[in-house]
Amino acid sequence: MFGRLGAPELILLLVVVILLFGAKKLPDMARSLGKSARILKSEAKAMKAEGQDNAAAPADPPAGEPAPRTIKAAPGDVSSRPVTEPTDRTTQR
């Protein structure tokens, strides 16, 4: 019943979408959808690369001072900056 959509059905569907959302908002919606797709793709690529890096990494971290962590400004952003984490001095004497 719903397996085949022809040209008249698609045109009717397009007209309904334009009437519901308005012609002015459709480009913004398409732009945000494309941006979301790019972010999802870059995050998936980063997770895949991280998984490959973790498989090749040693099981135990080296003894001594831990490596500084970095924060990325946005998904897919190549520029990063080191993070200085505050130390909790309330439990130390």
User: Quick one: CA dihedral 18, 20, 25, 26, positive or negative?
Assistant: negative
Cα gap 43→45, rounded to integer Å: 5
Within 10 angstroms of residue 38's Cβ, the number of other Cβ atoms is: 12
Tell me the β-bridge partners of 72.
Answer: 80
* Residue 89: per-residue pLDDT: 66
What does the pLDDT profile of the chain (93 residues) look like in tens digits?
566 888 889 899 988 988 888 878 888 888 999 999 999 999 999 988 887 777 665 555 566 666 666 665 666 555 555 556 666 666 655
DSSP string, the chain: --S---HHHHHHHHHHHHHHH-TTTHHHHHHHHHHHHHHHHHHHHHHHHHHHHHHHS-SSPPSSSPPPPEEESSTT---EEE-PPPP--SS--
